[in-house]
Amino acid sequence: MQPGRYTELFFLDEATALAAGHRPCAECRRADYRRLLELHPWATGADDLDERLHAERLPAGRGFVRRVHERPLDELPDGAFILCGGQPWMVLGGGLREWTPAGYAVSRPRPVGGTAQLITPPALLPLLADQRPRLVPLFHPSGGG
Q: Band of the pLDDT at 63, cuts 50, 70, 90?
A: low
- CA distances to 6, 35, 92, 103, 105 from 144, rounded to whole Å, are 32, 25, 9, 10, 10
Question: What span, in angstroms and rounded, lies between the C-alpha atoms of 137 and 75?
Answer: 22
Q: Band of the pLDDT at 84, cuts 50, 70, 90?
A: very high
pTM: 0.86
Per DSSP, the three-state class of 99 is strand
